[in-house]
Amino acid sequence: MNETHHAADAAARAGDGPDLFVVTAATSDTGSAVVRALLGGGSPVVAVGRDGDRLQEDARLGARTHVSALDDAEGLAAALEGATGAFVMMAPGLIPGSEDFPAYQHAVTVAQAAAVEAAHRRGSLRRMVTLSGWAANYPGARGPVAALKRFEDAVEATGVPAVHLRAGSFMENLRADIASVRATGGTGGLVPPDLPLPMIATADVGRVAAEFLRGERPFVPGPVEVVGPAFRTLGEATRLIGAAVGAAGARYAPRSPGAVRAALVDAGSATTWPTGPSP
């Protein structure tokens, strides 16, 4: 895996004392990967999610659990009581039926930053890792990605030293393509089939996050790009998926924005977000 450190200053090491790590959206692909990596390394973890039942897997692995919505600043502040480090993220990546997903992202950003700031004032919180994304720094970023830089900035403003993991495209995105290849023998979308993408598995994002939190990597506050060992195209991925699921010759077909939008709306998506930019 490749990581590019953009911050220039020397590594900031954690202070002394026993660690306690909080992970928000602990039932998401990425959050649960961070929980597993931290617990696997012997670190105590508080797993935060909106539904106690859904947190039972984290509890079974040995995490303490805390029920709070991601847009509930007070609930999150209570979860951060005594934490020395935290992984925070925005989840879900999108809510297809939402009529105003950017407003939801804003509320999640404000609540998590307020909770982090409160924990910082209480004195225990020494370091943060946020989940951001490749291209978060691109001024033309649209859709879910547009909110990630604002999330980075909000956590940055709390004063807690933070590493922002700008992850490449999740391998887990391909689950929809696997289903489509199985059902129809092919898949497609807006991304050109021959565009190499910086793919990464969320398990690897989780491992890197845990290593930063535990101080096993030099903790240099700022953005860090995390990608897998090689860039892959969706054409290549679709061929491999086809071979694996018994659909040899499966192809990825480029689709127009209009066709993609119509398919999303047909599938129950709100009409507001598929083509509109985030504010």
Ligand X SMILES: NC(=O)c1ccc[n+]([C@@H]2O[C@H](COP(=O)([O-])OP(=O)(O)OC[C@H]3O[C@@H](n4cnc5c(N)ncnc54)[C@H](OP(=O)(O)O)[C@@H]3O)[C@@H](O)[C@H]2O)c1
Query: With binding defined as CB under 6 A, does residue 109 bind ligand X?
Result: no
Amino acid at 24: T
Residues 14-53 that bind ligand X (CB under 6 A): 25, 27-30, 49-51
Closest approach, Cβ 229 to ligand X, in A, equals 17
Q: Using the rule CB under 6 A, is 182 a contact of ligand X?
A: no
Tokens of 167: 């992850």
| 223 near ligand X, judged by CB under 6 A | no
Residues 162-181 that bind ligand X (CB under 6 A): 167, 169-170, 173
d(CA 101, CA 107): 10
- Rounded Cα distance between 107 and 102, Å, is 9
Question: What is the x/- site pattern for ligand X, positions 65-104, by CB under 6 A?
Answer: ------------------------xxxxx-x---------
**37, 209 contact by CB (below 8 A):** yes
If the CB atoms of residues 170 and 212 are measured against ligand X, the closer one turns out to be 170
Residue 259 Cβ vs ligand X, minimum distance, rounded to whole Å: 21
**Of 15, 45, 18, 57, whose CA–CA distance to 209 is shortest?**
45
Q: Does 202 bind ligand X (CB under 6 A)?
A: yes
Nearer to ligand X, 19 or 29 (CB): 29
**Residue with Cβ nearer ligand X (14 or 171):** 171
C-beta separation of 172 from 188 below 8 A: no
Position 154 contacts ligand X (CB under 6 A) = no
Task: Using CB under 6 A, count the residues that bind ligand X.
Answer: 24
Site for ligand X in 240-269 (CB under 6 A): none
- On the CB side of 143, how many CA atoms lie within 13 Å of its CA? 10
**Closest CB 226 distance from ligand X, rounded Å:** 9
Q: Which is nearer to ligand X, 113 or 247 (CB)?
A: 113
Q: Per rule CB under 6 A, is residue 111 in the interface with ligand X?
A: no
Q: Name the residues that contact ligand X, by CB under 6 A.
A: 25, 27-30, 49-51, 54, 89-93, 95, 131, 133, 144, 148, 167, 169-170, 173, 202
